[in-house]
Structure 1
Amino acid sequence: MLQDQISRVVKHSVAYSFAFSQPFAFYVDAYPLMQNEVLEQSNMLQFGMQHESVRMLQHKLQKLSYYDSSIDGEFGVLTEYALTKFQQEHLLEQNGKANEKTVKAIINEEEEYYENLLQQHELTFSMGDRGEDVKEVQEALFYFGYYRANIDGIYGEKSNEAIEAYKQDTGEEIHHIEAEIHEKTVEAPQVASVEVTEQESNEKSDETNQEEAEANKETPVKKENTSTSKSSVSASQIISSAKEHIGTPYRWGGTSTSGFDCSGYLQYVYNQLDVNLPRTVSEIWNATKHIDQPSVGDLVFFETYKPGPSHAGIYLGDGKFIHAGESNGVEISELNVSYWSERYLGAKRVSLH
């Protein structure tokens, strides 16, 4: 994982090669991830040594709450004690020395610490937002080399750019799946789901018509004796399938019942009815038909962490929609809540087959 992170720093910073010639303060204040590279290339650090690598070791142990003394670069009793405590809690040989296994374990825990910060927070801030949540996200993005400004707890352009870069990188291996468009897809009737179309009124008197028979055969719902449109039945099936997954946790890149991201959730729900959707929100936006007002089963889109559609859900009616949110996983939310109403882009209709 370290090499992946180093490559991201290379991608997002022109000062990478310059970093290795700098003193400890530079690593801490500008490129903390470079400490990992230095520590991994160091020989065993042990009692009595004095070196810049010891400063880096002390800094990491302090961040992980094992070391609470001064960062002076001297491997003394307190540094040895902190290392021994870390080794004990991680089932390593308790020798108080920073050998290869111990250094890797420290680096892994630090990486997990910052990764958890990013996973715990919903990365959908608005310009001008302030608070500890923003600060923690800035710190984590700073560690991974995305954020290169003051860690001040104020969400601005630099913070937004950092989040966009982070999401692009973490999604590169996930969002490469291209949607397979079904050749027999037909466009859904452009009427509200509660209305009865003229075609549907004639169905009972024209059941021998081959084209109608094929359409009915392809529709993945059972025909009922009530005057309900095919899109209404399909919508009810979509909603039923969508609600089955309420409470499923959010997982970036998730496409299964063990965890969904917002587009993975939509794709999964519709695929259960043999309707193919593209993998990303922007692709779904482009592949669906604009409508002025959503009906039950239509998609609603929002502009969150970047310009354009970046989040979406399924409209349930009564101003509510179901979606995979980063905070609570699959849940039902209301469109008139300020967060969503301010970010609402519009509604789209999926072509059914």
Structure 2
Amino acid sequence: MLQDQISRVVKHSVAYSFAFSQPFSFYVDAYPMMQNEILEQSNMLKYGMQHESIRMLQHKLQKLSYYDSSIDGEFGILTEYALKKFQEDQVLDQNGKADQQTVKSIIDKEEKYYLQQLNDELEFSIGDTGDEVKELQEALHYFGYYRANIDGIFGEKSDQALRAYKQDKGLEIHHIEAEIKEEKTVEPQIASVEVVKQEENTSESPDKEEQKTTAESVQKTTNTENLGGLLTNAKAVIGTPYRWGGTTTAGFDCSGYLQYVFQQIGVALPRTVSDIWNATKKVNQPSVGDLVFFETYKPGPSHAGIYLGNGQFIHAGESNGVEITSVDNSYWSERYLGAKRVTFQ
């Protein structure tokens, strides 16, 4: 049973192979669920004893707000008092001993406490901070999904852990960019706006040099018009809520937003951020209208927006929906991958 338990709680660890090479003591601190197994298999713990299991017992009583002294592994009067108080609240025999029934009740109570943190259906976005994030991390850590520092910052590892938990529970995932895998017709890397149209049935045509000059002039004017339309359309939907997989004004995810905005000026973008990255032209520095890409929940480009100039970009963010944000923001600046350009032909 113990080996099955270990397998279940470490399967999402990025150090899966490393974990199984460690001695059993590794699991005691790294995997809280292992503490439950140890306590359940322990004999009755009582006043005067000193044992690693008592340290685990004190930790659990402290989490449940019954024990507020040091966690030292010594079953003293304060540990006994905490147990009696817990037993009283749970209508158990108030003997001050960690017998099998009391231990089971403590574990059940703790598990319900952590499940509550995961069942509150709180929405978090990359970069969110606070006590609620910390409680979420603790809960995910308890069930073996989160292996990083419990720091109250919702980052990539927190997002990955939450998605893994939701996946196992069959819950809908709202925290990542949709990766569309359905069959679809082959589309060009970047569909372009046709700028110079061929005249049909013309009896006369200007010489080649004049035609070239005219074409360049038309292309420059049209690109300016396209850029103006792009920015107008991009800003027109500010405030539209974030929706995983969303591609309409009812709600966007980040690539759905880009796809929608460019569609308004006749440009078809691929559906996912990674495909958009592959389909666009790299530039050293972004200009107004270029796309800026970021690495968030997975390696490689996973978020993108439209550069507005002056260090600002507009994108569909998970916290506030479509919004204007600074590229120099501490969160985004650390995850910036580069800029790319959609070419108008």
Q: Which amino acid aligns with 1:67?
A: Y
Per-residue deviation, residues 3-28 of structure 1 (Å, max 9, x unmatched): 753323495353448654x4xxx655
The answer to whether residue 107 in structure 2 is matched with residue 103 in structure 1 is yes
Greater shift, 322-331 or 73-82, is seen at 322-331
Identity of aligned residues (%): 42
The Cα shift of 1:344 comes to 3.5
The answer to whether residue 7 in structure 2 is matched with residue 7 in structure 1 is no
1:187 to 186, 190, 199: 190
1:237 to 226, 233, 242: 233
The Cα shift of 1:59 comes to 0.8
Tell me what 2:307 maps to: 315
Tell me what 1:160 maps to: none
Tell me what 2:32 maps to: 32
Tell me what 2:213 maps to: none
1:302 to 291, 294, 300: 294
Query: For the residues of structure 1 that align with 2:180 and 2:189, how far apart are their CA atoms?
Result: 23
Query: For the residues of structure 2 that align with 1:286 and 1:184, how far apart are their CA atoms?
Result: 13
Q: Which amino acid aligns with 1:187?
A: I
Change (3 A) 1:229 1:53: same
TM-score (normalizing by structure 2): 0.54
Report the secondary structure of 1:109's partner residue: helix
Q: What number of residue pairs does the alignment pair up?
A: 282
Check whether the contact 1:189–1:231 (CA below 8 A) recurs between aligned residues: no
Tell me what 1:67 maps to: 67
Query: For the residues of structure 2 that align with 1:339 and 1:18, how far apart are their CA atoms?
Result: 34
The Cα shift of 1:265 comes to 1.8
The Cα shift of 1:67 comes to 1.8
Tell me what 1:268 maps to: 256
Check whether the contact 1:60–1:110 (CA below 8 A) recurs between aligned residues: no
Check whether the contact 1:47–1:80 (CA below 8 A) recurs between aligned residues: no
Query: For the residues of structure 2 that align with 1:10 and 1:304, how far apart are their CA atoms?
Result: 17
Query: For the residues of structure 2 that align with 1:255 and 1:198, how far apart are their CA atoms?
Result: 32
Tell me what 2:214 maps to: none
Residue correspondence of structure 1 range 30-179 to structure 2 within 5 A: 30-39=30-39, 41=40, 53=53, 55-71=55-71, 72-73=74-75, 76-82=80-86, 94-95=91-92, 98=102, 100=104, 103-110=107-114, 122=126, 144=144, 147=147, 177-178=180-181
Check whether the contact 2:60–2:106 (CA below 8 A) recurs between aligned residues: no
Query: For the residues of structure 1 that align with 2:303 and 2:102, how far apart are their CA atoms?
Result: 45
Check whether the contact 1:67–1:78 (CA below 8 A) recurs between aligned residues: yes
Change (3 A) 1:32 1:342: closer
TM-score (normalizing by structure 1): 0.53
Q: CA RMSD in A?
A: 5.6
Q: Which amino acid aligns with 2:327?
A: L
Query: For the residues of structure 2 that align with 1:112 and 1:237, how far apart are their CA atoms?
Result: 42
Per-residue deviation, residues 198-219 of structure 1 (Å, max 9, x unmatched): 42xx59x77xxxxxxxxxxxxx
Per-residue deviation, residues 39-92 of structure 1 (Å, max 9, x unmatched): 5x559989889786554233123134332145435773322314655x6xxxxx
The Cα shift of 1:331 comes to 3.5
Structure 1: give runs of 5+ residues left out of the alignment: 88-93, 125-131, 154-162, 191-196, 207-225, 258-263
Report the secondary structure of 2:240's partner residue: coil
The answer to whether residue 327 in structure 2 is matched with residue 335 in structure 1 is yes
Check whether the contact 1:53–1:73 (CA below 8 A) recurs between aligned residues: no
The Cα shift of 1:282 comes to 3.9
Report the secondary structure of 1:346's partner residue: strand
Structure 2: give runs of 5+ residues left out of the alignment: 94-100, 168-172, 201-220
Query: For the residues of structure 1 that align with 2:14 and 2:286, how far apart are their CA atoms?
Result: 44
Check whether the contact 2:239–2:322 (CA below 8 A) recurs between aligned residues: no
Check whether the contact 2:316–2:323 (CA below 8 A) recurs between aligned residues: yes
Q: Which amino acid aligns with 1:245?
A: T
Check whether the contact 2:313–2:324 (CA below 8 A) recurs between aligned residues: yes
Tell me what 1:222 maps to: none
Query: For the residues of structure 2 that align with 1:341 and 1:106, how far apart are their CA atoms?
Result: 39
Check whether the contact 1:186–1:351 (CA below 8 A) recurs between aligned residues: no
Report the secondary structure of 1:76's partner residue: helix
Query: For the residues of structure 2 that align with 1:303 and 1:53, how far apart are their CA atoms?
Result: 42
Query: For the residues of structure 1 that align with 2:234 and 2:150, how far apart are their CA atoms?
Result: 44
Check whether the contact 2:190–2:270 (CA below 8 A) recurs between aligned residues: no
